[in-house]
């Protein structure tokens, strides 16, 4: 049986207005990284996935040293702060292009579930930071055995 949908001419107009508002907001109010924002502001590419036991966060940080990283967990927010420093200072050169970032950066992520921060592990190898955040016992999946009678 076919479903009839009532035509409302202003519904499409409202969605067009919302799209224009979103375009304006993303372009000028909260610009994307690399366009109007400096490269250090939120330029971390982050992968986050969940297993039965842990939440794992991976991010690439080329040129960052482990001692320049600061990782904090407050409630359900994970914050990664760090700093990259220049290796050399070129005084008499006219740069054609400079894309390597220098300076401080900060990235805050909302965690999908409750974790035990005291048991968290951080590994930094070949410019990749891997955080293993164990889930709290109350959110881990429980298996219930069914007994037949």
Which residues of the chain form CATH 2.60.40.790? 40-87+101-140
pLDDT in tens, 22-49: 887 777 665 554 443 444 444 678 999 9
Give yes or no for residue 59 having a pLDDT over 70: yes
Strand positions, DSSP E, the chain: 46-50, 54-60, 69-74, 77-84, 103-110, 121-125, 128-134
Q: Is the pTM of this model over 0.85?
A: no
Residue 1 pLDDT > 80, yes or no? no
pLDDT at 129: 93
Cα separations in angstroms, 134 against 25, 39, 40, 84: 37, 31, 29, 29
Tokens of 67: 């001692």
**CATH T-level fold of 40-87+101-140:** Immunoglobulin-like (2.60.40)
Average confidence (pLDDT) over 94-103: 71
């Amino acid at each position: 049986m076919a479903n009839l949908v009532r035509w409302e001419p202003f519904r499409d107009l409202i969605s067009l207005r919302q799209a224009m508002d979103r375009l304006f907001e993303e372009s000028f109010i909260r610009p994307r990284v690399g366009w109007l924002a400096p490269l250090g502001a939120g330029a971390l590419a982050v992968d986050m996935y969940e297993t039965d036991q842990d939440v794992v966060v991976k991010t690439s940080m080329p040129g960052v040293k482990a001692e320049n990283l600061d990782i904090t967990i407050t409630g359900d927010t994970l914050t990664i702060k760090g700093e990259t420093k220049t290796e050399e200072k070129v005084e008499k050169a006219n740069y054609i292009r400079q894309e390597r970032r220098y300076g401080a950066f900060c990235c805050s992520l909302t965690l999908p579930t409750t974790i035990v921060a005291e048991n968290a592990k951080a590994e930094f190898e070949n410019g990749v930071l891997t955080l293993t955040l164990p889930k709290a016992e109350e959110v881990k999946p429980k298996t219930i055995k069914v007994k037949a009678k």
